Chains A and B, each alone.
Chain A
Amino acid sequence: MKNPPQRPVPVIAAILAFCLLIFSGAAGIQAASIKGPLRIAFICSGSVTDGGWNQQGKNAILVVKKKLHAHVSILEHISPVRAVDVMRSYAMRGYNLIIGHGYEFLIPATQVAATARKTKFAVSGADTTKPGVLTLNFDLAQPSYELGILAAMLSKSGKIGFIGGEAIPSVVACYHGFAAGAKSVKPTIKVAAAYTSWDQPALSKSQAQAFIQQGIDVIYQNVDAASRGVFEAVAQANKSGRGPIYVFGSNSNQNNNPTCPRYTPASAVIRLDRAFLRVAQQVKRGTFKPGVAPENLQNGVCIVVLNPKLIGSVITPAMQQALARARRELLTGKLHIAG
């Protein structure tokens, strides 16, 4: 007994044939002229509203847009799988500069750079380079050292903590810088470390609460979009009278976060706008060169930003002097932090 025939295949085949019939008349993607304002494409792997790394990148590229009157195209949620296709498409349409925001774009950028001679490629957050690509290597270990000094001077319990999003070397380097800075002030200080997640505030919150339970009274977090959880834990602890508990921001200036600005004395900041602007200007002037660009305290991209509202009350002149001294030593090369 034959069952009733199923006919999805002819239906879908006909649909596709019809679509192709319509599409076939369309012309190819035209390569646009390079004349006029700089054309920049910014590609990131997450959402530009994540409140962290990607949003910071978007804000930075908008600064470049404003300052150079450039045409900027922003594309979010691009996985490495899609990156080659997207970058090639931009290059074919005459974009002058393509910025891949994250190490995962390094190999795709290299693949496209091999054939797209007129377009320049920069990748932020990678630590190595490939032919035809400029890598922006951010070193937060130096600002982390300064934060360590501040933490040791703020802590009353002699216990401080670090929460990272992932135990990758660039984040672990922050911990090492932080611990080294703290021990330079108080050699007996205890520095705890934990790694949770970049995008799960609940995880980072419970970790911060565990730290506070252990008596830790200064927390340095580098968890990107999950930082909200740490701020909440600190705000709640201070509200319940356990405090004062302080927290440091990272990557962007988180001193004015809406949850606990009164307990956020400082942030280790990557000034992406400065780095992107410099690269865009190089492209415009024709001085762009592939390679690794160390972005650090020396060129003013990775710095500590103090919370101006807490200077004088929480941040004492002695602390400021200690920070200034450490910064001088770092800038002159007297002090070296392994990144």
Chain B
Amino acid sequence: MIKRFLHRVWNSVTAVALAALVCAGVLALAVGAGALLGYPPIHLADLWLRGAAGSWYALSSSCADACPLLLTGLAAGVAFRAGVLNIGAQGQFLLGALVAVALSTRMMIFHQADLVIPTALIGGAVAGGLWGLVAQYLERYRSVPVVLSTILLNFVALYLAQAALQGPLQALGTAAAQSPEVAGKYWLPLFVPYTDFHIGIILALGLAVLLWVVQQHTTFGFETRVVGLNPGTAKAMKMPVTIRQFQIMFISGACAGLGGAIQLLGQVHFMTAHMGNYGYAGIAVALLGRLNPLGIILSALFFGFLDTGAFRAEESSLALPHDMANVIKAVVILVMLVLAGLSLRRARRAGRDTPMPPTPPTQESTL
């Protein structure tokens, strides 16, 4: 018992040490890359860090950027963990935003913010979920792989959004393919005034924790993980594999759809077909977070900080070119992935070395 406790403590200590090393490495990398590109490296690193978290406003900006990434990351993470390869978070995100903009600019229920905001958020989530179910249906009953159909459905969603924004959802008095602005009273409230800290961020964090609890501590979560690891075994254990896959696809799509709705009501307040590539970025977020909802929170924050800092470096007096900023971001993310992979291998090896008491398989097993 004591040995296991000491082992855990040792693991935590080494994890923190490794994290410190990674951070030092990331900083050194940014500084080194800046030097190679001919930019004053210390100044560049300073700008990047200040831009990401140097003030309350910068912090809120980073967190607001992380919010949609967290939700699309959850969409990918939850689905991948259950073996459902949903690459369609981008389309589900767009559909969620589209339904939210329709519900908040065209069909405002009783014109009451108390009703319009929840309706738009729920509507966005349901739209994303249903869009995901289309792909699952095609796989189950028409043998179309989910990977393929979700990618194709992303394009369908994009063109659907374009058609809607040039049709029934187009703003009056303009030829531009964009929706009208959502009225201020239907925006998500801020919990810190004059920043970008909107309640959608809290909602997203709450959802991530809820998904972690469901995944780790419920029969449903256990079954979805077994289905993801080995559908054959799940079937042999008489688990409802098909139903679980449909449920997970709906949850995954709903996360992405909610992301679109929150982004619309919390951050952008109008819609064009160019709402960012959050759906695709969510896959990288989920992988860096090791498909664990809590890991995805941290991973999304990391991406948000990196992204916001990059913009501040670009618009600064240094005028770091956008492509160079992207190269630095990509290298940093790659390094993070490699180090996270190494730490996982280390943890696995450590786990193998730890003597385990003989216990029968239970639902609490880590899969």
Contacts and interface: CB of A to CB of B under 8 A. Distances in A.
Question: Do the two chains belong together in a single complex?
Answer: yes
Contacts of A75: 311, 314-315, 322
A188 to B, nearest CB: 31
A29 B51 CA distance: 8
Interface in A65-89: 73-77, 79-82, 84-86, 88-89
A5 B366 contact: yes
Contacts of A16: 298, 301-302
Contact of B367 (A3, A23, A82, A110): A3
A126 interface: yes
A210 interface: no
A176 to B, nearest CB: 13
A18 B176 contact: no
B178 A26 contact: no
B61 interface: yes
Nearest to B361: A1
Interface string B332-367: 000010001001100111111000100101000111
A77 B315 CA distance: 12
A80 B54 contact: no
Q: Is the interface of A mostly helix, strand, loop or mixed?
A: helix
Interface string A167-203: 0111000000000000000000000000000000000
B176 A127 contact: yes
Interface stretch (B138-146, B152-160, B239-247, B288-296): B288-296
Contacts of A17: 19
A37 to B, nearest CB: 13
B268 interface: yes
B269 A3 contact: no
Interface string A7-20: 11111111111111
A104 B57 contact: no
Contacts of B15: 7, 10-11, 14
B295 A12 contact: yes
A85 B314 CA distance: 13
B178 A107 contact: yes
A19 B347 contact: no
B20 A18 contact: yes
A28 B351 contact: no
Given A4-B347, A73-B319, A90-B315, A14 B175 contact: no
B176 A104 contact: yes
Contacts of B27: 22
Contacts of B267: 81, 84
A129 B42 CA distance: 42
A104 B308 CA distance: 20
Contacts of B336: 15
Given A14-B15, A127-B175, 14 more contacts: A8-B344, A12-B19, A12-B340, A19-B302, A22-B23, A73-B319, A80-B274, A81-B275, A86-B315, A103-B178, A106-B174, A107-B269, A126-B174, A127-B176
Interface of A: 1-20, 22-24, 26-29, 41, 45, 47, 73-77, 79-82, 84-86, 88-90, 92, 103-104, 106-108, 110-111, 126-128, 168-170
